[in-house]
Structure 1
Amino acid sequence: MIYDATTRIAEAALCLRARMGGSAALRERLVCGTRPGPAAIWVHAASVGELTSARTVIAALAARHPLTVTTNSETGRALAQDWGLPARLAPLDLPGALARFLDATRPRLALTVEGEFWPLRSRLLAQRGVHQAMIGARMSERSAGTWGRFPRIIGPMLGRIAALSAQDQGSEARLLSLGLPHRALLPRLDLKLLAPASLPVTPQDDARDRVILAASTHEGEDGPVLDAFAALRATRPDLRLILAPRHPDRADAIAALIAARDLPMARRSAGADDAPQGGVLLADTLGEMARWYARAGLCIIGGSIADHGGHTPWEPAAHACALLHGPHLGNFIETFDALHAQGAARPWEEGLAPLIDRPEAARAMGRAARAVLEARAGDPDALIGRLDDLARGPA
């Protein structure tokens, strides 16, 4: 009752503001003016990150049903539109805005990516017979503690969910404890891994065996990598290094480090596509990391030699690279534990030389990394099939 009364008062004030010259974004979120078209599925994601993670699922559903995408950010809306999907800013959790949106779209399924719980949205969807689902659902311990103080709000919202795939076991357990029915559970999927796991496996060959990639390096990491490479090439003159800094605006400083070690160098920004034999390709461009992962058999994970918490290992794992890292893995501790357990990763200083001299061992590590990625990503087919059924069912 309190929430209903508050939202009605808030909506009246916001509508007045919109009429008095409010922003276009506010009018869109109030669903004033242009209305969305009909759609069997309403997909909601907060912004770019959530949309990108769910692209595999969204694309599969868009191939089967008309859908509309909403986001909380204009950048997210633009991304969905770039994919060729109808997209707009999400209606605010206000009775009039939601009613206008649902009157126009008439969805049979409302699908939320990762997590957002809006009491009024949940109730109005249920009243209209719209199935509710969530994929990549997250619930941290802190959020669970907060929602646990409001069981009469979170319980009914979770009880209305027909299908939910959690991002991890902890989130799944916390959602169940807050009121999610067991019948709604779908297999857990890590959405962020679906795209890399769907990439074709890059063939492992002799050329990749002799290429080392230092991926997304930070200041303080290039020097140690270059020193290690210089020592290796002294007795292995056919080695090549691709050095791809996280921030290409450091390229001139890195070029000076390479020159100081008297190493042959080529720069991607100057058009080079490969490192000279026994030398370094300075990959000082953006948006080409997949190209370099596919060239290298061994990948040193940037951000882990200097204390930046490490970067994701899943992209090089998708290309079956042997994974090497420094001591700083705070952003991905559990991930690297899983990779170590399967022999897919090891510390770079102790692993680099042995793997260069034992290419079959490096290839085995790369295959293990790809296998861990595929196992953790999961198979989205069952989830997509369930969502497809809900979208075909009566609204």
Structure 2
Amino acid sequence: MLIYRLLMSLLLPVLVLGLLWRRLRGTGVEDALAERLGLSRGGVHPIWLHGASNGEITSARWLIEELLARDPQAFILISCNNPTARSMVASWAIPRTEAVLAPWDTRGSVRRFLSRRQPRILLVLENELWPERMAGCAERGIPVVAIGARLSERSARNWARVAPGLLRRMLGNVGWLSAQDEASERRFVAAGLPPDRLGPRLVLKAGVRAAKMPEAPFPAPPRGRCLLAASTHEGEDAAILDAFLGARALFDLLVIAPRHPRRGAEIAALAEARGISASLRSRGGAPNAPVYVADTLGEMPLWYGLCGTTFIGGTLAPRGGHTPFEPMEAGSALVHGPSIHNFAEIFAELDAAGAALPVAGPAELASTLAALTPDRQAALVTAAAARRRATDPEPVLAAISRLSSAR
């Protein structure tokens, strides 16, 4: 822990300068420095929920709403690691919630944050275990609940090689942990989690409730002729555009929703280089070209509802894949690449049930889309509906209630 604290102390000036530089360029967030240093003030004694970014926090929205519904006095402070997620949470305008950037994981920032906010419990999503936050909570008797926790084989190996004692100490501070899958359970226990603190498995994204599909505010082709590439990463868009070109007999419109909206103009340029005209959602208006780049935030339900087929981003690039649950709930047929380790068990089940189409690479993506007739889309959607998992919130809600009331 001493070495970690020294490294974070040396890194802190770099973090501050980077934030100030972004602010000077007009890309910073108001009050970002105060929030990162743990100096912001607001509601006290909250349930503190922390997730890395948009996807993790969106997956927990159902849990946030359930906690608020069960406790009319509850106040939830939601922290995240980037400004886009902070803005997204603020846009939800959920009563009795507040969105902030998480304090940097330095001793001073965490101490100031905990002193000012005095949370009654910390809920961490997926793999957001940070040494200083965990230590700070332990010092103050603040219980920690890890929800939908994930520990990949690579991460476990890296921890074992670099700092096994630090991971063991963090896991010793966890009061209750629900892992995403059986493999993560084994790795957490082997790394030092007391077995009696292991709760039932929970995949947060499986609890996503079907959102009301908003009507498209513009004319669009029939749903079965619209293709969505959801949460794409750099290196994937070119392959998707090439595959779309080969499937024009079946699809009239390709919507590309990049994971990072700032890449919108870059993706449009890739389309133009292939002789396909493209328009940007950020510039307003209807799709007036075969490719529509959805370079905005908070509109994914619109795209899932608009498109009868969804390619899951982060599966051609080595990112481990993004959630299949939201497009499944929207009744969109699923196609994915080989990089699926973030949801390995779920994708394996979907593939085996004929509820999703796996492709090995760009060439197979092109041939798969070219054969994805309306009947084939409908068959995938029907198979996926039969495989949907119901997420039981009771174990995690009971753990939160038990640990927070014990303070």
TM-score w.r.t. length of structure 2: 0.66
Q: Determine the structure 1 residue equivalent to 2:260.
A: none
Q: Determine the structure 1 residue equivalent to 2:233.
A: none
Cα offset, 1:68, TM superposition: 1.8
Distance 2:148 2:392 in 1: 13
Cα offset, 1:180, TM superposition: 0.9
Structure 2 residue 71 is matched with structure 1 residue 60: no
Instruction: Say which of 121, 133, 139 aligns to 1:121.
Output: 133
3-state secondary structure, aligned to 2:77 = strand
Q: Determine the structure 2 residue equivalent to 1:35.
A: 41
Evaluate the alpha carbon distance shift between residue 218 and residue 386 of structure 1 in structure 2; reply closer, same or farther with a 3 A threshold.
same
Q: Determine the structure 1 residue equivalent to 2:393.
A: 380
Q: Which has the larger radius of gyration?
A: 1
Structure 2 residue 355 is matched with structure 1 residue 344: yes
Matches within 5 A, 1:264-283: 283=292
Distance 1:253 1:352 in 2: 21
Residues 328 and 381, structure 2, Cα contact 8 Å, conserved in 1: yes
Residues 223 and 306, structure 2, Cα contact 8 Å, conserved in 1: no
Evaluate the alpha carbon distance shift between residue 78 and residue 184 of structure 1 in structure 2; reply closer, same or farther with a 3 A threshold.
same
Residues 310 and 332, structure 2, Cα contact 8 Å, conserved in 1: no
3-state secondary structure, aligned to 1:39 = coil
Residues 135 and 170, structure 2, Cα contact 8 Å, conserved in 1: yes
3-state secondary structure, aligned to 1:148 = helix
Cα offset, 1:3, TM superposition: 5.4
Residues 132 and 162, structure 1, Cα contact 8 Å, conserved in 2: yes
Q: Structure 2: where are the runs of 5+ without partners?
A: 24-30, 215-220, 230-235, 258-263, 360-364
Q: Determine the structure 2 residue equivalent to 1:190.
A: 203
Residues 323 and 344, structure 1, Cα contact 8 Å, conserved in 2: yes
Instruction: Say which of 231, 239, 249 aligns to 2:268.
Output: 249
3-state secondary structure, aligned to 1:42 = strand
Residues 324 and 352, structure 1, Cα contact 8 Å, conserved in 2: no
Distance 2:33 2:314 in 1: 42
Distance 1:309 1:147 in 2: 21
Residues 156 and 187, structure 2, Cα contact 8 Å, conserved in 1: yes
Instruction: Say which of 140, 143, 147 aligns to 2:159.
Output: 147
Q: Determine the structure 2 residue equivalent to 1:90.
A: 102
Evaluate the alpha carbon distance shift between residue 138 and residue 302 of structure 1 in structure 2; reply closer, same or farther with a 3 A threshold.
closer
Residues 136 and 167, structure 1, Cα contact 8 Å, conserved in 2: yes
Q: Let me know the Cα RMSD of the aligned residues.
A: 4.7
Evaluate the alpha carbon distance shift between residue 283 and residue 353 of structure 1 in structure 2; reply closer, same or farther with a 3 A threshold.
same
Matched residue pairs, number? 352
3-state secondary structure, aligned to 1:111 = strand
Q: Determine the structure 2 residue equivalent to 1:69.
A: 78
Structure 2 residue 384 is matched with structure 1 residue 369: yes
What is the letter of the counterpart of residue 137 of structure 2? L
Residues 222 and 254, structure 1, Cα contact 8 Å, conserved in 2: no
Q: Deviations over 1:7-51 (max 9, x none)?
A: 9x949x97xx99xx999655544434x534312312223344432
Cα offset, 1:148, TM superposition: 2.7
Instruction: Say which of 139, 144, 147 aligns to 1:132.
Output: 144
Q: Determine the structure 1 residue equivalent to 2:118.
A: 106
Residues 247 and 369, structure 2, Cα contact 8 Å, conserved in 1: no
Distance 2:155 2:243 in 1: 41
Residues 213 and 300, structure 1, Cα contact 8 Å, conserved in 2: no
Distance 1:370 1:343 in 2: 11
Residues 244 and 284, structure 1, Cα contact 8 Å, conserved in 2: yes
Residues 212 and 300, structure 1, Cα contact 8 Å, conserved in 2: no
Residues 244 and 282, structure 1, Cα contact 8 Å, conserved in 2: yes
Evaluate the alpha carbon distance shift between residue 251 and residue 293 of structure 1 in structure 2; reply closer, same or farther with a 3 A threshold.
farther
Cα offset, 1:132, TM superposition: 0.9
What is the letter of the counterpart of residue 378 of structure 2? R
Cα offset, 1:113, TM superposition: 1.9
Cα offset, 1:179, TM superposition: 1.2
Distance 2:354 2:399 in 1: 35
Instruction: Say which of 340, 350, 361 aligns to 1:332.
Output: 340
Residues 188 and 378, structure 1, Cα contact 8 Å, conserved in 2: no
Cα offset, 1:286, TM superposition: 4.9
Structure 2 residue 56 is matched with structure 1 residue 50: yes
Cα offset, 1:155, TM superposition: 2.2
Residues 245 and 251, structure 1, Cα contact 8 Å, conserved in 2: no
Evaluate the alpha carbon distance shift between residue 330 and residue 155 of structure 1 in structure 2; reply closer, same or farther with a 3 A threshold.
same
Distance 2:188 2:148 in 1: 12
Cα offset, 1:174, TM superposition: 0.8
